[in-house]
Amino acid sequence: MGVAIRLLLLPLMAVAFCGYGVTGRSHFHKKPPRGGSSGGRHRGGKEGSVVSSPAVPPADDDTQPVPPPPAGIVPSDPATPVQPAEPCVFDVRAYGAVGDGSTDDTQAFREAWKSACAADAAVLLVPSDGTFTITTTTFSGPCKPGLVFQVDGVLMPPDGPDCWPASDNRRQWVVFSSLDGLTLRGAGTIEGNGEEWWSLPCKPHRGPNGSTLRGPCDSPTLVRFFMSRNLVVEGLRVENSPEFHFRFDGCSDVRVDGLYISSPANSPNTDGIHVENTERVGIYNSRISNGDDCISIGTGSYDVDIQNITCGPGHGISIGSLGVHNSQACVSNVTVRNAVIRNSDNGLRIKTWQGGMGAVSGIAFADVVMENVRNCIIVDQYYCLDKRCMNQSTAVHVTDVSYANVRGSYDTRSAPIHFACSDTVPCTNITMSEVELLPASGELVDDPFCWSAYGTQQTLTIPPVTCLQDGLPEALLDNPDLKCR
């Protein structure tokens, strides 16, 4: 049979196997590489193992036939258990993907997505024995329910800006758009190949003699979710993104669980997980080390629950920046609990630009451990990238922020607690209890810094936060610029 005919038949064969019961097949899986694979420039991969399920007897087996159901019971009765159908698996190799680390497998992924999107309970499989390179691609819906994008091998973009196709978007790589119920998971790696992007001369301190050159500096977000809902992202290793590793825009009902995100501490703008205009988000049981915010929360984000996260090195967990270019920004109901932040420039940070409007409210930080963090607790309403910003009379209101059981050590280059709030829109209702932050190197405890900050110290804290003011400024009453939904 000719090569062309075989390639045409492979996708049809893959579809033909859909619908078999859960039992009946054995699958060979190589142990997924952690940070590399046998293809391309990645190395590693452990000896394979066999994962088996009970075999379906062949047609000529002498196994006793299954007796019919008792009288009065039919398979459609609710009391009769129904064996769920096995998901349809769409292996990208069946659509022509090579997985050698250098061949462009983009078209194979697009064809596999088209087939998987049209099938119920489908799995698009990136197999464990390959390193697959694709260019900028949007995987869009709507699709049939239960779609899974399973990365068990290595998936990566072209190696740096010089290899990026001129016709491709340089602001994003893989985009999942207009989907309901997608799961992105796997035991494999999404490798960003970001090293050459970080070295562009327009990146901070990448020009001659440590300067920053002006000019186009677009770099792709590695994985972006856009206008989608009921999303699950779990179990992946994601590393070396050119810019943000994950970004959620205009989404709802998102669960992120068990991720390992890694980039060097000096890689610029490599936020681990960024959430914007997205609501009902849970981020759990993940470890993030990178060159920017571990988790960043932008405007329009509501009901965000973050638990059991380890961050560092990096810039900590940040709300903001908010209110840039005199815009309105609203964030509310954010909880951070059971977190460890170590060797980081910041710990728990809220940052806003002068001139903005709106409010950050209902923020709770609890049960957080700091290890050698420079700014453990910081609210900065004077955020400015080049420190030449002009003072302005409006600001995003920061209110109803609590810190409870926040303990650990801080880098003595900065005070451990820093509330720099707006003269005209002060921070209000800050509450602190069981806060204990000691210098990592054993010097005397630094005093907190407060400016236009109102709140209460509910228990004795170390250092004592006596600089918080009592009450509520009259200037904030009935101010329409501070209203959010």
Q: Which residue has the higher pLDDT, 450 or 86?
A: 450
CA 476 and chain centroid, separation: 35
**Given this model, what pLDDT does residue 358 score?**
95
Please give the pLDDT value at position 283.
Answer: 98
pLDDT of residue 388: 73
pLDDT in tens, 235-265: 999 999 999 999 999 999 999 999 999 999 9
Give me the residue label for tokens 């075989």. Answer: 6
Residue numbers annotated as active site: 315
**Average of per-residue pLDDT across 436-445:** 85
- Under a CB-based contact definition with an 8 Å cutoff, are residues 454 and 473 in contact? yes
- The alpha-helical segments, DSSP class H, found in 179-220 are 195-198
Indicate the pLDDT class of residue 20, thresholds 50, 70 and 90: very low
- The residues facing 377 across adjacent strands are 348, 417
Q: How many other CB atoms are found less than 10 A from the CB of residue 161?
A: 15
In sequence order, what are the beta bridge partners of 183? 148, 232
Coil vs helix vs strand at 33: coil
Residues 296-318 as b or e (16 or more Cβ within 10 Å = b): bbbbbbbbbbbbbbbbbbbbbbb
Sign of the dihedral defined by the CA atoms of residues 95, 97, 98, 99, in that order: negative
Burial of 258 (0-12, 13-18, 19+ CB in 10 A): middle
The contacts of residue 274 (CB under 8 Å, 6+ apart) are 244, 246, 247, 248, 293, 295, 296, 297, 298
* pLDDT bucket at 38, cuts 50 / 70 / 90: very low
How much is the CA Rg of the chain, to the nearest whole Å?
Answer: 26
In this structure, are residues 283 and 317 in contact, taking their beta carbons and an 8 Å threshold?
no
pLDDT for 40 equals 39
Read off the pLDDT of residues 441-470 as tens digits, 9 standing for 90 and up. 877 788 999 999 999 999 999 999 999 999
Task: Give the phi and the psi of residue 161 in degrees, each rounded to 5.
Answer: -65, -30
C-alpha torsion 172→247→95→14, nearest 10: -170
- What lies within 8 Å, CB to CB, of 482 at 6+ separation is 357, 358, 359, 397, 425, 476
- pLDDT score for 474: 74
Q: Residues 123, 98: contact at Cβ < 8 Å?
A: no
Q: What is the dihedral of CA 6, 9, 15, 17, to 10 degrees?
A: -60
Q: Is the dihedral of CA 307, 243, 195, 34 positive or negative?
A: positive
User: How far out from the chain centre does Cα 125 lie?
Assistant: 21
Backbone angles phi, psi at 218, to 5 degrees: -65, 135
Does residue 28 surpass a pLDDT of 90?
no
327, 368 Cβ separation under 8 angstroms? no
**Is the CB of residue 301 less than 8 Å from the CB of residue 326?**
no
Range 189-202 average pLDDT: 93
Instruction: List, edge to edge, every strand of the sheet that includes 449-451.
Output: 137-140, 172-177, 221-226, 246-249, 273-276, 295-297, 317-322, 346-352, 375-380, 417-420, 449-451
Whether 259 and 233 have beta carbons less than 8 Å apart is answered as: yes
DSSP-assigned beta bridge partners for residue 297: 275, 319
pLDDT of residue 444: 76
Nearest partner of 225 among 195, 194, 255, judged by Cα? 255
* C-alpha 252 chain-centroid distance: 14
The dihedral over CA atoms of 405, 408, 414, 416, expressed in degrees to the nearest 10, equals: 20
pLDDT higher than 80, residue 478: no
C-alpha distances in angstroms, 257 versus 92, 183, 286, 288, 305? Answer: 25, 11, 6, 12, 12
Give the model's confidence band at 25: pLDDT under 50 very low, under 70 low, under 90 confident, else very high.
very low
Q: Contacts for 439-442 with beta carbons within 8 Å, 24 or more apart? A: 439/409, 439/410, 439/412, 440/371, 440/372, 440/409, 440/410, 440/411, 440/412, 441/412
Distance CA 147, CA 120 (A): 7
How far is 335 from 289, CA to CA, in rounded Å?
A: 20
